[in-house]
Structure 1
Amino acid sequence: MTAFAFEPTPTPVSVSDRAAMLADPGFGRVFTDHMAVVRYSADAGWHDAKIVARAPLTVDPATAVLHYAQEIFEGLKAYALDDGGIALFRPDANAARFRASAERMAMAHLPEELFVESCRQLVLADRDWIPAIDGGALYLRPFMIASEVFLGVKPASEYLYCVLASSVGAYWKGGARAVSLWVSHDYTRAAPGGTGEAKCGGNYAASLVAQSEAVKRGHDQVVFLDAAERRWIEELGGMNIFFVMADGSLVTPPLTGTILPGITRASLIQLARDEGLVVREEMYSIDQWRADAESGALAESFACGTAAVVTPIGKVAGPDYAFTIGSGGTGQTTARLLQRLSDLQRGRAPDPHGWLQRIA
């Protein structure tokens, strides 16, 4: 196991200022005192692992990531448990996905145990930043960039890996609410053979124009169709999607290379199957979604991801159509799965699959 040197910040946020920040942190705006840093070079491999004061990065204008976008990231949470402990939820799955993303982007492979240890050490250093509020957690953002200084289209030979920690509250204030989706028929998120299943910044950048269009039209989020036929539902800009049929079964698009393999998605599939529900990973078209919603064959839809966990979908619209799913609110299956997953993440329910990794 790689040892992390600890270099505490000389200017920590005061206890009173931190308490004020944690009373209502929102999401992605409040950052802790420290960050994890590890460097890579072709000659030395991974080295210089540290927990240091969070500070701006200084990069040369010719740094490779700025020109050729070799960059990947992850997202996971650390939770305060009722017994006073702290746990990470499925960090090994995030580590494996980070490695897969690196492979797709021709980047150095970070050992999975080093990924997990970097998250563990940062949480232990900044454990006091976990908000003691409903839905509070420490959101971790591991990322890696090509740090070599050069201009030329080739994989970099130097990389910088960092982990940031952000104190967060519930993604939706007042609890999960049903969102409205705009179906993009003009823009696609990913294509076969592309980077859809890698968690790289370019995928998210490509989704922003469609997301902006959705907001301008009065919707919360955008949902993308496949690039080849513009027919099959794939995912939202940053979340996977599920369909709950009237017979109680669940359908979710299959992982064929254009969809990010969400860890929340995988967890919900397992929890649903633990309940005895049938879960089918199969293609589902926008025409079928509309027809099933209108006929009553579809009872609920929801999106899922690390940040918002489970988000009910109430309304869907496209250029010349609009429909409501069920009552337009949160369905029973959606609410139950959200509760089951949340209870497991916070140590309030049995953990038969060993997903919760206690670190303190």
Structure 2
Amino acid sequence: MNFHPSHPLQAFWNLAAAPIQAMALEQALEHRLFTLLAQPATAASVAQQLGLNAASTAVWLDLLWSMDLLVRHVPAGKAEPGYAASPLAARFFVDASPENCAQSWQYRARSLARFAMQWCTLLREGFEPDGRTKEGAAASTGSWAQAAREQIGQEQRVVTAPAVLHLMDALPPLPRQGRFLDLGGGPGHVAIALARRLPGWRGTVCDQSETAEVAQDNIRAAGLSDSLEAMGRDLSHEAIGGGCDLIWCSSVLHFLHDPQAALSKMFEALKPGGLLLLAHAELADDPVLAARVMPFYAGVMLRGNHLPQPGEVAGMMARAGFAGIHALGRIDFPMAPVWVHMGRRP
């Protein structure tokens, strides 16, 4: 007999509990707890080292243990358990780890929390894009550039760039020489990974001017200035060049008021036979997949920007002139899954 049936409302109770878990992780990152617990320690010891309340610290550590961020064990002959960072926490939330994503997670958690606080106003009044001042727009651009340098940079290095290289492994081999464009490439880590994978190629990262400066700094730090460059462009109003054999474009169409025009620019930027790889989130027909997308892209939609329906991206590519269009499948990017489409300029 099953004495532990799952109630239909359980998912919603989990949703109500999520802010508690998020704050527990937020505090763990603020206190660099996972670095401290590289070696096991008791709650009393952690509280003493961090200047915290001992009883509250014990509850906090058990909560993190329940989230698979700590391991807990009771040494022989001891009454008080010891806690240590789990392999998951040590991999992604410790400063010294090459896969550290602590800043990235905090950035997303805080921005989503701020957006959630606006729901009441947005439902009553909607979003007024024309109400933003030039000063506000400039501040937004500067904030994005700073995020590209830090938090978004972590996401690209740890999640996006490896996913793109894995995707490239599944494609037919590319020529030994060519030219690629990383459109909307942010801090440039995807382009850096591609440049290392394609040593005979030359590449360009294209993004807003302040973000392109961040990419240029990362290119110099990677020692790839001879084969890779950054170009500041407003994709909505400026040309993006030409002569490309490959364009990688991820999560750019969401933020443009005329994505069809942008696809036409990509078509013109490719040489005949050139390949476009287009990776974007979609509002899937499956509610389970939609639930992974909507929390992160609701703000995009409320601003009047674009979240494609299934099949819509392929149709837009066809209208821009691309041939041989087909979906390569879904890959997991930071936050939400994206669907990758491929097409060529005839």
Q: Compute the TM-score of the two structures, normalised by the length of structure 1.
A: 0.29
Larger Rg belongs to: 2
Flag the structure with higher strand content.
Answer: 1
Flag the structure with higher helix content.
Answer: 2
Q: Which has the higher contact order (CA 8 A, sep 6+)?
A: 1
Q: Compute the TM-score of the two structures, normalised by the length of structure 2.
A: 0.30
